[in-house]
Structure 1
Amino acid sequence: MQYFSTLGTRRAGLSMSFDLNTYVYEPAPSSPGRPPMKAVSGAGQDHPPTSGVRQQVADSVCDRLVDETGSPGVIVVGDTGSGKTAVLRSVIDRLRSSTCIIHLRGSNLDTQLRYGALRVLIADLPANHLDHPVRVITGLSRLLEERALGLPTIIVVDDAELLDEGSATVLGQLAQTGSIRLLAACVNLSRAPVCFQDLCQSQTLAQVHLASLTQQEVAGDMKSALGGAVCRAASLFLHRQSGGNPRLLNALVGDYLASGALRCVGGVWVLTSAEVDLGPASARIVMDHIAALEPTQQQLLESLAAAGTTPLAAVAADQLGDLDTLYVLKMVSIERDHRAVVSVTGPLLRDAILGRASRVNLRWAEQTSCWDRFPTRTENDLASTKHLRRAHQAAHDGDYRRTIDELTSPMFDPFEIDRGERFQAAILMCEALAFTGRTDEAREIANTFAPSRRYDGRPELARIAVTLATVEALSGDMTAMLEASGRYLGGAGRSTGTYEEIVEGLVNAVGGRPVEAEGFLTAALSQLQVSDPGGLAPLVAAALAWITSEDSPERAERYLLAASDPSNEVPWIVRRLTKHFAALALQGTVSADRAALALKALSEEDGERGNSSWQLLTLCHVLRLGDQSVARSVMELGAACQGRYASLCTLYATGVEMEDTDLVLQAMDIARAIGDLPFARDAAASATQLADQSECAGLRGRVADRVRGIIGSTSTALGVRRQLAALTTREMEVVKAMVDGTTNRDFAKTLGVSVRTVEGHLYRVYTKLHVRTKSELLAKVALSEAATP
Structure 2
Amino acid sequence: MTYWGQGRQLFGRDRELAEITNRLLEPGLRGVVLLGAEGIGKSSLAELAAERLGSIMAPYYVCGSPVLSRMQYGILSTYLGAATAAEMESPLAVLRAVRAHFQRLAETSGMQTLLVVDNAQHIDEASAHLLSQLAMSGELRLMVISRARAPRIHELLSLARDGLLARIDLGPLPRQAVHEFCVSVLGGPVLQASSTLLSRMSGGNPLYVKELMARARRQQRLMEVNGAWYLTEEPDSLDTSLVDLVKGMLASRSPAERHVLETVALAERLPRSIVSSVSDEEAVRSLVIDGILEILPDRDESAHLVQPLHEDIIRSLVPAARSAEIRARIMERYHPGSLQDPGGPAALDALLRHAEWAMDCGERLAPEDLLAAARAANGMGDAARGQRFASAVDSLPLRRAAEVEVAAAYVWQGSYGLARTHLEALAAVADDAGPWDERSLQRGAFTTAMMLRQTNAQSTDVNALAHRWIEVATGLVPKDAASAQTPPGVSAGAGVLTSAALILDGAYTEACSRLAALAAEEGEPQTIGDAERALLIHGLYAEVLAACGEVGQALQQAQAATNLLDASAGQLRSYSGFVFVRHALALLHGGRFAQLEQLITRMHNGPRHLLTLLGGTLGVFEAALEIHRGRLHEGLRRLRPAVEALRGRDPESLLPYALGLAGYASTVVGDGTPAAGFGTQVHSAGYTGPPHLWLTAQAYAAAAEASQATEGPTTGALAGLAAEAREAGLRSTEKDILELCLAVGDLGQVTRLAELTADFEGGEAQALHAYAAAVASGNPDRMVAAAEDAIRAQKYLVAVESIGHAIRFYGNHGNLRRQRALIQQLRRRREELAGVTVSYLSPSLHLVRLTRREHEIVDLLLSGATTKDIAAHFTLSQRTVEGHVYRIYVKLGISRRADLESAYRALEPGPRSGSLL
Regarding TM over 0.5, the answer is: yes
Amino acid at match of 2:525: F
* Offset, 1:342: 4.3
Contact 1:396 1:573 in 2 (8 A): no
Distance 1:57 1:389, change over 3 A: same
1:341 to 339, 345, 348: 348
SS of the aligned residue for 1:675 comes to coil
3-state DSSP of counterpart to 1:53: coil
Query: Structure 1 residues 277 and 613 mapped into 2: Cα distance closer, same or farther (>3 Å)?
Result: closer
- Which residue of the partner structure matches residue 795 of structure 2? 676
Query: 1:81 and 1:681, CA in 2 relative to 1: closer, same or farther beyond 3 A?
Result: closer
Q: Secondary structure at the match of 1:610?
A: coil
Aligned-residue offset at 1:175: 0.4
Unaligned runs of 5+ in 1: 1-27, 29-36, 41-48, 355-360, 733-781
Residue 519 of structure 1 deviates from its aligned partner by 1.0
Deviation at 1:167, TM superposition (A): 3.8
- In structure 2, the CA distance between the partners of 1:485 and 1:149, relative to structure 1 (3 Å rule), is same
Counterpart CA distance in 2 for 1:641 and 1:54 is 41
| CA–CA separation in structure 1 for the residues paired with 2:604 and 2:410 | 21
Partner residue in 2 for 1:415: 525
CA contact (8 A) 2:801 2:841 kept: no
Q: How big is the shift at 1:520?
A: 0.9
Alignment of 1:167-566 (within 5 A): 167-189=127-149, 191-232=151-192, 234-258=194-218, 260-262=220-222, 264-271=224-231, 280-289=240-249, 318=277, 324=295, 326-330=304-308, 331=310, 337-338=344-345, 340-342=347-349, 375-376=447-448, 399-401=507-509, 402-403=511-512, 405-409=514-518, 410-416=520-526, 418=528, 427-442=539-554, 467=582, 470-476=585-591, 480=594, 483-484=597-598, 487-488=601-602, 491=605, 493-494=607-608, 495-496=611-612, 497-528=615-646, 535-552=653-670, 558-566=677-685
Shift of 1:577: 3.3
Of residues 679-688 and 74-83 in structure 1, the stretch that sits farther from structure 2 once superposed is: 679-688
RMSD: 5.6
**Is the CA contact (8 Å cut-off) linking 2:632 and 2:669 kept in structure 1?**
no
Amino acid at match of 1:124: A
- State the Cα distance separating 1:206 from its structure 2 match: 1.7
- Sort the Cα spacing of 1:87 and 1:392 in 2 relative to 1 into closer, same or farther, 3 A: same
Deviations along 1:531-572, one digit per CA (max 9) or x if unpaired, are: 556554433221121112234498776222222234446333
Q: Secondary structure at the match of 1:415?
A: coil
Partners of 2:384 and 2:62 in 1: how far apart?
42
* DSSP 3-state at the match of 2:163: coil
Distance in 1, Cα, partners of 2:191 & 2:546 = 31
Q: Distance in 1 between matches of 2:214 and 2:619?
A: 25
Question: 1:311-353, CA deviations, whole angstroms, 9 ceiling, x for partnerless residues?
Answer: 989977836976745333445599984561346999xxx9xx9
CA contact (8 A) 1:430 1:467 kept: yes
> Offset at 1:588?
0.5
Q: Residue 13 of structure 1 aligns with which residue?
A: none
Aligned residue for 1:341, secondary structure, equals helix
Summarize deviations over 1:130-151 as a string: whole Å, max 9, x none: 67x7776567534643566555
Give the Cα separation in 2 of the matches to 1:584 and 1:524. Answer: 21
The Cα of 1:201 is off from its aligned counterpart by 1.8
Instruction: Determine helix, strand or coil for the equivalent of 2:668.
Output: coil
- Tell me if 1:717 matches 2:839: yes
**Residue 646 to residue 210, structure 1, CA distance change in 2 (3 Å):** closer
Aligned equivalent of 2:31: 73
- Partners of 1:659 and 1:484 lie apart in 2 by 38
| Contact map agreement 2:121 2:146 (CA 8 A) in 1 | yes
The CA distance in 2 between the partners of 1:631 and 1:156, in whole Å, is 66
Secondary structure of the residue that 1:185 maps to in structure 2? strand
State how far apart, in whole Å, the 2-side matches of 1:315 and 1:50 are. Answer: 48
Q: Is the 8 A contact 1:125 1:139 kept in 2?
A: no
Instruction: Tell whether the 8 Å contact from 2:622 to 2:635 is kept in structure 1 after alignment.
Output: yes
- Is the 8 Å Cα contact of residues 692 and 733 (structure 2) preserved in structure 1? no
CA distance in 2, matches of 1:785, 1:50: 33
Three-state SS of the structure 2 residue aligned to 1:207 is strand
**Partners of 1:345 and 1:191 in 2: CA distance:** 39
Give 1:508 shift: 0.9
CA contact (8 A) 1:54 1:87 kept: no
Partner of 2:908: 787
Q: How many residues align?
A: 674
Change (3 A) 1:398 1:91: same
Higher relative contact order structure (alpha carbons within 8 Å, sequence separation ≥ 6)? 1
Identity of matched residues, %? 21
The whole-number CA distance in structure 1 between the counterparts of 2:521 and 2:46 is 68
What CA distance in whole angstroms lies between the structure 2 residues aligned with 1:63 and 1:617?
Answer: 51
- Over 3 Å counting, the alpha-carbon distance change for 1:568 and 1:690 in structure 2 is same
TM-score (norm 2): 0.59
Separation of aligned partners in 2, 1:154 and 1:593: 65
Q: Render the CA deviation track for 1:404-431: whole Å, top value 9, x for unaligned.
A: 6425533212434656776665555444
Counterpart for residue 587 of structure 1? 706
SS in 2 for 1:206: strand
Secondary structure of residue in 1 paired with 2:166: strand
1:199 alignment partner, SS class: helix
Instruction: Name the CA distance, whole Å, in 1 between partners of 2:43 and 2:640.
Output: 36
Q: Tell me whether 1:105 sits opposite 2:64 in the alignment.
A: yes
Letter matched to residue 549 of structure 1: T
| Structure 2, gaps ≥5 residues long | 285-292, 296-302, 313-335, 337-341, 362-382, 386-408, 415-444, 450-468, 474-486, 831-835, 855-902, 911-917
Partner Cα distance (1:427, 1:672) in 2: 31
Q: Assess if the C-alpha contact under 8 Å between 1:506 and 1:517 holds in 2.
A: yes
Helix, strand or coil at the partner of 2:142: strand
State the distance in 1 between where 2:173 and 2:411 align: 26
- Give the aligned residue type for 1:501: G
Q: By how many angstroms is 1:174 displaced?
A: 1.8
Q: Are 1:310 and 1:342, in contact at CA under 8 Å, matched by a contact in 2? A: no
What is the CA-CA distance between 1:72 and the residue it aligns to? 1.1
Distance 1:365 1:527 in 2: 19
CA contact (8 A) 1:236 1:492 kept: no
The 8 Å contact of residues 215 and 239 in structure 2, kept in 1 or not, is answered as yes
Higher helix share: 2
- 1:270 Cα deviation (Å)? 4.3
* CA distance, structure 1, for counterparts of residue 48 and residue 906 of structure 2: 47
Comparing 528-537 with 514-523, greater Cα deviation is found at: 528-537
